[in-house]
Structure 1
Amino acid sequence: MPLITTILGFIIIITCFFFILIVLIQTPKKESINQNFIEKDFKFLGVKKTNIFIENITWFLSVTIFFLTLLFNYFLK
Structure 2
Amino acid sequence: MSQPKDANPRNLAGGRNVQCPHYVFCLDIAAANMWPQFTCDYCFYRKTRQDTRIEELDLCSPGWEDIWGGSG
Please confirm whether the aligned pair reaches a TM-score higher than 0.5, indicating the same fold.
no
Alignment TM-score, normalising by the size of structure 2: 0.26
Write 1 or 2 for the structure with the bigger share of helix: 1
RCO comparison, higher one (Cα < 8 Å, 6+): 1
TM-score, normalising length from structure 1?
A: 0.25
Bigger Rg, structure 1 or 2: 1
